[in-house]
Amino acid sequence: MHEYWLLIVGAVFVNNIILARYLGNCPFFGVSNRMDTATGMAMAVVFVITLASCITWLVEKYVLAPFGLEYLETIAFILVIASLVQLVEMFLQKSVPALYRALGIYLPLITTNCAVLGVAVLCVEEDFNFIKTLVFAFASAVGYGMALIMLTGIRERILVAPVPKHLQGLPVGLISGGLLALAFLGFLGMV
Amino acid sequence: MLSAILAIGGLGFVAGVGLAAASKIFYVYVDPLIVAVEEALPGANCGGCGFPGCSGAAEAIATGKAPPTICVGGGPATHAKVASILGIEIKEVEPEIARPGCYYGPQEADLKYIYDGLNDCRAAMLLGGGAKECPVGCLGLGSCVKACPFGALSMGEDGLPRVNASLCTGCGTCERVCPKHIITLTSNSRRVTQEYTLDQCSAPCQRTCPAGIDIPAYIDAAGRGDYLEAVRIIKEKNPFPLVCGRICVHPCENECRRNLLDEPVAINPIKRFVADFEMKSGSRIPIEKAPPTGKRIAVIGGGAEGLTAAFFLARLGHEPTVYEGKPHLGGLLRTIIPDSRLPKDVLDWEIQGILETGVTAHTNTKLGRDVAIGDLLQEGYDAVFVATGGWDSQMSEGLPTEPYQMLPGVHLLVHLSFAHMAGKAPQLAGDAMIVGCGNASIDAAHLLKTLGAQHVHVVFRGSRQESPFTDEELQAAEAQGITFHFRSAITRMFGRAGDLTHVEVASLEKYVPGQTLQQLHEQAALQHIPVQTLVTGAGRFPELIYAPVYEQRGEGDQQELVRTDHWETVVPYAGPFAEEDVGIFRPGEATTDYKAVVEAIGAGRRGAASVHKRLMGEEVAAPPGMIRRSTRVLTVDTLEPLSPQPREKMPALSPVEQMANPEAEVELGFSEEQVRREAQRCLRCGLICYRRPLQEPESLAKSA
Domain boundary among B186, B211, B240: B186
Shared domain check, B459 and B432: yes
pLDDT at B8: 86
Mean pLDDT of B611-639: 88
CA atoms of B225 and A65, how far apart (whole Å): 87
Nearest to A83 among B18, B119, B120 (CB): B18
Question: What separation in angstroms does the CA of B68 have from each of B30, B37, B84?
Answer: 19, 9, 10
pLDDT at B167: 87
3-state secondary structure (DSSP) of residue B426: coil
Taking contacts as CB-CB distances below 8 angstroms, the residues of chain A near B16 are 83
Give the range of the structural domain holding residue B60, as residue numbers without chain letter: 32-93
Model confidence pLDDT, tens digit, residues B58-115? 888 887 778 777 887 777 788 888 888 877 776 677 788 888 889 998 888 889 999 9
- pLDDT classification of B576: cutoffs 50, 70, 90: confident
Among the residue ranges B60-74, B161-175, B446-460, the one predicted with the least confidence is B60-74
Shared domain check, B63 and B165: no
Interface of A with B (CB under 8 A): 59, 63-64, 67-69, 72, 75-76, 79-80, 83, 86-87, 90-91, 93-95, 160-162
Model confidence pLDDT, tens digit, residues B420-433? 888 888 888 899 99
Helix B32-40 to helix B75-86 angle (10° resolution) is 160
Neighbour tally for A163: CB within 10 Å: 15
How many Å lie between the alpha carbon of A97 and the closest alpha carbon of chain B?
10
pLDDT at A66: 86
Contact A80 B25 (CB under 8 A): no
Contact A80 B4 (CB under 8 A): no
CATH number reported for the structural domain that contains residue B45 in this entry = 1.10.15.40
pLDDT at B395: 58
* pLDDT at B597 > cutoff 70: yes
Is B178 within any annotated ligand binding site? yes
pLDDT at B151: 87
Shared domain check, B174 and B69: no
pLDDT at B584: 81
Which of B6, B27, B28 should be substituted to probe chain A, the one whose Cβ sees the most A Cβ atoms within 10 Å? B28
Whether B440 is in a domain gets the answer yes
- What DSSP line would sit under B214-269, residue for residue? -HHHHHHHHHTT-HHHHHHHHHTT-S-HHHHHHH---HHHHH-GGGGTS----HHH
Contact B3 A94 (CB under 8 A): no
Identify the CA nearest to B273 among candidates B237, B238, B222, B224: B222
Domain boundary among B499, B522, B539: B539
Mean pLDDT of A125-135: 90
Nearest CA in chain B to A62: B7
Shared domain check, B63 and B108: no
Whether B175 is in a domain gets the answer yes
Q: How many structural domains are present in chain B?
A: 3
CA atoms of A11 and A140, how far apart (whole Å): 5
Is B209 within any annotated ligand binding site? no
Nearest to A160 among B8, B26, B120 (CB): B120
Is B689 within any annotated ligand binding site? no
Whether B88 is in a domain gets the answer yes
Compare B519 and B544 and report the one with higher pLDDT. B544
Identify the CA nearest to B253 among candidates B205, B214, B219: B205
Compare B510 and B672 and report the one with higher pLDDT. B672
Taking contacts as CB-CB distances below 8 angstroms, the residues of chain B near A87 are 18-19, 22
Model confidence pLDDT, tens digit, residues B359-389? 999 999 988 889 999 999 999 999 999 988 7
Domain boundary among B49, B75, B93: B93
Beta bridge partners of B562: B551
- pLDDT classification of A102: cutoffs 50, 70, 90: low
Shared domain check, B532 and B440: yes
- pLDDT classification of B341: cutoffs 50, 70, 90: very high
CA atoms of B40 and B505, how far apart (whole Å): 54
CA atoms of B415 and B400, how far apart (whole Å): 9
Shared domain check, B417 and B520: yes
How many Å lie between the alpha carbon of A166 and the closest alpha carbon of chain B?
17
CA atoms of A60 and A64, how far apart (whole Å): 5
Taking contacts as CB-CB distances below 8 angstroms, the residues of chain B near A108 are none
Instruction: Give, rounded to a whole angstrom, the gap between the first and last alpha carbons of chain A.
Output: 15
pLDDT at A153: 93
pLDDT at B321: 96
Is B54 within any annotated ligand binding site? yes
Mean pLDDT of B183-209: 91
Shared domain check, B458 and B495: yes
Is B171 within any annotated ligand binding site? yes
Whether B20 is in a domain gets the answer no
pLDDT at B589: 55
pLDDT at A104: 62
* pLDDT at B591 > cutoff 70: no
Contact B7 A79 (CB under 8 A): no
* pLDDT at B416 > cutoff 90: no
Shared domain check, B170 and B51: no
Whether B71 is in a domain gets the answer yes
Model confidence pLDDT, tens digit, residues B252-303? 999 999 999 899 999 999 999 999 999 999 899 999 999 899 999 999 999 9
pLDDT at B704: 38
Whether B622 is in a domain gets the answer no
What DSSP designation does B285 have? P
Shared domain check, B138 and B66: no
User: Between residues 83 and 142 of chain B, which touch chain A (CB distance below 8 Å)?
Assistant: 118-120, 123
- pLDDT classification of A165: cutoffs 50, 70, 90: confident
CA atoms of B569 and B564, how far apart (whole Å): 14
How many Å lie between the alpha carbon of A52 and the closest alpha carbon of chain B?
14
Compare B460 and B392 and report the one with higher pLDDT. B460
- pLDDT classification of B40: cutoffs 50, 70, 90: confident
* pLDDT at B698 > cutoff 50: no
Among the residue ranges B19-33, B203-217, B252-266, the one predicted with the least confidence is B19-33
3-state secondary structure (DSSP) of residue B16: helix
Whether B348 is in a domain gets the answer no
Neighbour tally for B464: CB within 10 Å: 12
Mean pLDDT of B195-200: 90
Contact B8 A79 (CB under 8 A): yes
pLDDT at B314: 96
Mean pLDDT of B427-450: 90
CA atoms of B86 and B82, how far apart (whole Å): 6
* pLDDT at A41 > cutoff 90: no
CATH number reported for the structural domain that contains residue B111 in this entry = 3.30.70.20
How many Å lie between the alpha carbon of A9 and the closest alpha carbon of chain B?
34
Beta bridge partners of B548: B567
B2 touches chain A (CB under 8 A): no
pLDDT at B32: 79
Nearest to A69 among B3, B16, B23 (CB): B3
**CA-based radius of gyration for chain B:** 31
Which of B8, B14, B25 should be substituted to probe chain A, the one whose Cβ sees the most A Cβ atoms within 10 Å? B8
- pLDDT classification of B696: cutoffs 50, 70, 90: very low
Contact A75 B8 (CB under 8 A): yes
- What DSSP line would sit under B452-499, residue for residue? T-S-EEEE-SS-TTTSSS-HHHHHHHHHTTEEEE-SEEEEEEEEETTE
CA atoms of B304 and B351, how far apart (whole Å): 9
- pLDDT classification of B211: cutoffs 50, 70, 90: very high
Instruction: Give, rounded to a whole angstrom, the gap between the first and last alpha carbons of chain B.
Output: 84
- Count CB pairs under 8 A between chains A and B: 54
What percentage of residues in chain B have a pLDDT greater than 90?
44
Shared domain check, B535 and B424: yes
- pLDDT classification of B702: cutoffs 50, 70, 90: very low
B26 touches chain A (CB under 8 A): yes
What DSSP designation does A72 have? G
Nearest to A90 among B7, B22, B120 (CB): B22
3-state secondary structure (DSSP) of residue B274: helix
pLDDT at B637: 87
Helix (H) or strand (E) holding B392: none
Contact B19 A83 (CB under 8 A): yes
Question: What separation in angstroms does the CA of B168 have from each of B90, B288, B663?
Answer: 21, 18, 51
Contact B118 A160 (CB under 8 A): yes
Nearest to A80 among B11, B27, B118 (CB): B11
How many Å lie between the alpha carbon of A182 and the closest alpha carbon of chain B?
27
Compare A29 and B217 and report the one with higher pLDDT. B217
Shared domain check, B162 and B45: no
Model confidence pLDDT, tens digit, residues B483-499? 999 989 898 999 998 89
B658 touches chain A (CB under 8 A): no
Taking contacts as CB-CB distances below 8 angstroms, the residues of chain B near A93 are 26, 28
Shared domain check, B151 and B45: no
How many Å lie between the alpha carbon of B126 and the closest alpha carbon of chain A?
15
Whether B308 is in a domain gets the answer no
ipTM confidence score? 0.76
Nearest to A94 among B18, B26, B123 (CB): B26
